Amino acid sequence: MAYPVSPLASPFPALPPIAGVTARVVRAGYKDWGRCDLTYVELDEGTSVAGVFTRNLCCSSEVELGRANIGQGKARALIVNAGNSNAFTGYRGREAVEQIMGQVSAHLGCPPEQVFVSSTGVIGVPLPKDKAREGVEKALTAQPCTWEDAANTIATTDTFAKGATATAIVDGKTVTISAIIKGSGMIAPDMATMLGYLFTDATVEPAFLQECLSAANQRTFSCITVDSDTSTSDTVMAFATGKAGNAPLASFESAGADAFAAAVHDVCRQLAHLVVRDGEGAQKFIAVTVSGAISDESARKVGLAIANSPLVKTAIAGEDANWGRVVMAVGKAGEPADRDKLSIGFGGTWAAREGLPLADYDEAPVAEHLKGQDISIEVDLGLGEGQATVWTCDLTHGYISINADYRS
C-alpha cells in the first residue's frame, strides 16, 4: 500500500559511489506490491564490517546470524529482503537465511559467514525459500543500480527514500561515506531501531569500525523514537572497502581517526533524523533537549520518557502548549528529578522555571512556534551537568490509519 509522502520529507541526496561496492535490486515478489523488494550489495574482498543489532528477545534469524558472524570482521555481500521480516518463524526462517547465505557465498567463493542478510516487514510469516532463491539468482547478475534505487527497495511503510553522505581527511586522503536507511514505524531505542547501512572506501580495521559505529549509535539511533516499539529486525551495519588507500585506521591513535569517527557520527545523525521525519503519520519533528541531569544517560532517559509520551506527542500534534504533560513525563521517567528545580520551555521560551509557572509567561510565541514543523522542547532538571537530546515526532490519526491496515 502506498502512503502519502511525509510533509517532513527531505529530497534524496546525491550519494557518491563507493569503490568496492556494487548494489543491485530485483523483484522477488515477497508481497504483491509491484516493485523491487530484494537488494543485493556485493563487496570487494578485504571489506571490513561492523554492526549493531536489536536487543528484542524475539529477534529474527537474520539478526541472530548477523550478531554471531559480525565478530569475524569481514564481509563480501549484503542481502536485504523487504515485505517479510522472517521473524518468529522458527527453523523454517533460519533455513531460508542459511539458504541465501549459501547461495551467495557459492557465487562469490567466500565463506557463508561473510554474507549478511536482513529482512523487514510482516512478523510471523516464514520467508518463502523459493521466492528468495529465484530473487537472489536474478540479483546476482542484475544491472548495478543507484543508491536511491537501493534505498527505495529496502523500504516498507517509508514514504520517501533516505540517504546521507559525509567525507573526512584520513592520512592525507579523502575518504567518503555513503549510507541508506529505512524506518518509519516500530521505532524505539534499544540499539538501532531500523535497517541502515553505511559504506565507506576508508581502510578501517574491524574492531575500530565497530567502536566508531557503536559510539555513533548511542548518540543517534538510540536517541530517536516514533512509537516506543523496538523491532525484531533492527540492524545497522558499516562496511569499509579500503579502496581509498589510507593507512589502516586501527584506533584513535591512528592519523585521521577522529575525523573518520566524526564523519560516521554525522552520517548516523542525518539518517536518524530522516527516520523520525518519516515517522508514521508524522506532521512535526520534535527535538527534546534535557539539561541539568545527574548524568548524560539520566538525561537521555528523561528525554525518552517525554518523547514517548502519547500525551506529549498528541499535544504537539494539536499545537497545544500543554507543558503540564512534560512535567508528568519527567516525573514518571524513573530518574532523579526535583519538582522545585524543574524548568520547562518550548522553542526557547521558558514556561516554568524552578518549579513554578513564570508570572510573566506569554504563550503567544510558544503557540506560534508550535504551528511550525520543527519543534523544540527544553527541560532543565537543575540537578547536575548531564545533558542529552532525543528526537521524536507527533502522534496523529495517520499513525493509527497506517498500522490498522498494515497487513492488508
As annotated, the active-site residues are 193
- Looking only at the bridges linking them, the beta strands covering 115-122 and 77-84 are parallel
54 annotated as a binding-site residue: no
Q: Which strands, in side-by-side order, build the sheet including 77-84?
A: 21-26, 38-43, 77-84, 115-122
Cα 137 from Cα 113, distance rounded (Å): 19
60 annotated as a binding-site residue: no
Cα 10 from Cα 159, distance rounded (Å): 10
Residue 175 pairs with which residues in a beta bridge? 168
280 annotated as a binding-site residue: yes
Helices 323-332 and 296-307 sit at what angle, rounded to 10 degrees? 130
Cα 115 from Cα 360, distance rounded (Å): 62
CB atoms under 10 Å from CB of 34, counted, come to 8
152 annotated as a binding-site residue: no
Rg of the chain's alpha carbons, rounded to an integer?
22
Residue among 290, 340, 332 nearest 309 (CA): 332
- What's 249's DSSP letter? B
Cα 130 from Cα 26, distance rounded (Å): 15
CB atoms under 10 Å from CB of 283, counted, come to 17
CA 312 to the chain's CA centroid: 23
Binding residues for substrate: 156, 182, 193, 280, 403, 408
Binding residues: 156, 182, 193, 280, 403, 408
